[in-house]
Amino acid sequence: MAQIALTTSAALFPFNRGAKQWTNLFPRFSKRYGTNISLFMSYRKKGVRFVASDATGRNGGVPEISDGETAPRSYVWPDKKKPRVCILGGGFGGLYTALRLESLVWPDDKKPQVLLVDQSERFVFKPMLYELLSGEVDAWEIAPRFLDLLANTSVQFCQDRVKLLHPYDHFRMNGPSGSSFGGTVLLESGLLIEYDWLVLALGAESKLDVVPGASEFALPFSNLEDARKVDSKLRRLERRNFGKFSPIRVAVVGCGYSGVELAATVAERLQSRGIVQAINVETTICPTAPPGNREAALKVLSSREVQLLLGYFVRCIRRVDNVEASENMTGSGAVPGIAAEHDHETYTLELQPAQRGLQSQILEADLVLWTVGSKPPLPQLEPHDKPHELPLNGRGQAETDETLRVKGHPRIFALGDSSSLRDSNGKLLPATAQVAFQQADFTGWNLWAAINDRPLLPFRFQNLGEMMTLGRNDAAISPSFIEGLTLEGPIGHTARKIAYLIRLPTDEHRLKVGISWLTKSAIESVASLQSNLTKVLSGS
């Protein structure tokens, strides 16, 4: 399954210091904001910055102390009495939680005001990013704008990045000094949001820093911008190699669901014009997949001549520059941008064996696609022994109880890649769209229960099966309710598209996309019929 990878990032988290020692260092701020000041440090590459706030968090909340910067401006909620819910991240977890809150029945004085924050203007249905490369879908179908999706709701949207989080619910259930709010969020634009309830649905980012050269020369494939970059690079390679006999060489690092889906899609697109090599440290592809899905994928990869290099890990990636531009392209009258397309960069990948009996290898590639590993944007916090900090596991995910509330923080919920939760067997839940989709439903309900003083429900993941795309007219589905059944080929492809159509976020968007897909299918059917008739007539 395509991993949920959401874009909003939390880069800074505060920690308390003694107030008195800071008033001596910054007397003018103590006079302005009072002597009861808590000061926070935020570490950055270019040094240390300080952030101060009064103890109650009211009257402007967290003004930054930084040369040349003004104090943050506060976000004004429409109603001063109704609960305020701030959702950070607009992927499956965040957006679907907001829509779930909107669909519930609330008492008039309890319906919360909901603000959704994401760094992108578009929601991305990530399991269908591969169809952008194959040309099967248009960007608007799987990446609609948040403003369009939320147009008929009371949910407000803010396009911004998270800079600093200051929770107060670690003091007591209702915050310090009897206040009713849960804390504040500071955005990079300087907007300060005071909330009663917070939802962390920040997703995950591709982890490229584990292998030398990967962050510089490999392209990840986890969001809309990644998909556009890969498509653009493939287009340039296709133009460069048009009419030539040299194939386009593509290396895909990782043979989990994402890597296999990407390798199958790219191989189908390039056909005889390309060579696709997929590398995996395991000795099999999709090791956690149902046997039916794995067998269907192996069959498709074999038919498209995808070379599998199993039992290897990438040691490093290097670039080899080859300038193919001719002199007349760099002379006077050259069209801007055309010469750049003739600059050909190739890469070498050093492969080390992870299994005995294998030899080291060196691969050459025109394009390196990276699908291995991910990291939540929640950072490690310093110091680790402070009870008010968010408890994080080794991967940087917030530890939650079974109701999806962050441990020690009754007013903060976390889900998807931002949370660490185990199933009934003690295994960590996978980072898939299916998990985040189900957790959003529970998070919305538990927020309703918490606001209305009702018991919260423990989350129980229900595995509905697994799906993977293998090309324009090929997919594999293994539903969990029928053991041993795998739908593959055109039937699996159709079933997968119907399943994802049902899971699109709103009725209006489902209707638009459904009409678009039916229209495209009808056009393709007519074109196929005409092609077959032409062949029959020409043969006669």
Model confidence pLDDT, tens digit, residues 194-228: 999 999 999 888 888 889 999 999 999 999 999 99
In order of start, what are the domains of the chain with their CATH numbers? 73-119+160-204+376-462 (3.50.50.60), 218-321+344-373 (3.50.50.60), 466-518 (no CATH)
Cα(363)–Cα(17) distance, rounded to whole angstroms?
52
CA dihedral 378, 382, 387, 390 (to 10 degrees): 0
Residues 459-487 have a mean pLDDT of 92
pLDDT at 220: 95
- pTM for this predicted structure: 0.80
pLDDT at 440: 97
Cα(231)–Cα(252) distance, rounded to whole angstroms?
14
Interval 10-60: pLDDT, tens: 333 333 333 333 333 333 333 333 333 333 333 333 332 333 333 333 333
Q: Which two tokens stand for residue 285?
A: 């592809």
Q: What single DSSP character describes residue 371?
A: -
Q: Is the pLDDT of residue 342 over 60?
A: no
Neighbouring CB atoms inside 10 A of 17's CB total 14
Provide the edge-to-edge strand list for the sheet that holds 47-54: 37-44, 47-54, 64-65
- Residue 441's closest CA among 6, 96, 155, 83? 96
| Contact predicate 143/247, CB 8 Å | no
Q: How confident is the model at residue 540 (pLDDT cuts 50, 70, 90)?
A: low
Interval 398-440: pLDDT, tens: 889 999 999 989 999 999 988 888 877 778 888 889 999 999 9
pLDDT at 388: 54
Backbone angles phi and psi of 265, in degrees to 5: -70, -45
- When mean pLDDT is compared across 257-261, 431-435, 450-454, the lowest value belongs to 431-435
Half-sphere exposure of 320 (CA within 13 A, CB side): 9
Interval 459-472: pLDDT, tens: 999 989 999 999 99
Q: Higher-confidence residue: 349 or 167?
A: 349
The residues, any chain, with a CB within 8 Å of residue 478's CB and separated by 6 or more, are: 289, 290, 292, 293, 465, 466, 467, 485, 486, 487
